[in-house]
Chain A
Amino acid sequence: DSGVTQTPKHLITATGQRVTLRCSPRSGDLSVYWYQQSLDQGLQFLIQYYNGEERAKGNILERFSAQQFPDLHSELNLSSLELGDSALYFCASSVGARNTGELFFGEGSRLTVL
């Protein structure tokens, strides 16, 4: 158990819909990262938040947005969903803003868009 909690574990929805994925980091970790894992793209970095502020941005679509709340949990919002958004979405956390140690990963949220 990494200490990172993601909900829901599985989600099935239709094209055009909007979903929210939630992540609670390990106790004491201030950074939260979101990754998308798909068969064709592999593990793609989406975005990092550190103590409530956006720290780094990767290949995140404009239809996607994220935020980190004062209690440090984070939400990833995916809107106008397309079939190609079907993937496993991972949240990870770390103590600091810069990774000189380890990212702790949750078990992921599997999104299926029909």
Chain B
Amino acid sequence: AQSVTQLDSQVPVFEEAPVELRCNYSSSVSVYLFWYVQYPNQGLQLLLKYLSGSTLVKGINGFEAEFNKSQTSFHLRKPSVHISDTAEYFCAVSFSGNTGKLIFGQGTTLQVKP
């Protein structure tokens, strides 16, 4: 079965510290990988995506992620976080096929403390 696992439900971190949010997936077919962010009382917004090519992808707000096919991971990183990065982060996978549906992980709450 195809699935997405976000290993941490909550990640507390101090402002200006680096952060890594972990994501692993399980699939027997090719995948496209995404990270979305959800601010309170808002919809989801795309941070970055991996479709093909370079395994290191850069997104908005200084975030980046690295696709590791052998470890089936797509971890999200930021070298220095801000208070405004406090939000829920979702890893998502789209599997090859004739549909555009995304399978989401359970989400990770990033809590940036001053």
Instruction: Report A's interface with B, CB cutoff 8 A.
Output: 2, 4, 31, 33, 35, 42-43, 45, 48, 50, 55-56, 58, 90, 92, 94, 96-103, 105-108
Contacts and interface: CB of A to CB of B under 8 A. Distances in A.
A99 B102 contact: yes
Contacts, number: 68
A56 to B, nearest CB: 4
A39 B98 CA distance: 30
Main SS of chain B's interface residues?
loop
Contacts of A97: 98-100
Contact of A98 (B44, B100, B104): B100
Contact of A55 (B36, B42, B43, B98): B98
A43 B43 CA distance: 12
Interface residues on B, range: 20 to 34
Contact of B43 (A45, A100, A101, A105): A105
Given A105-B43, A107-B43, A48 B99 contact: yes
Given A2-B45, A102-B46, A105-B44, A42 B98 contact: no
Contacts of B100: 31, 33, 48, 50, 55-56, 94, 96-99, 103
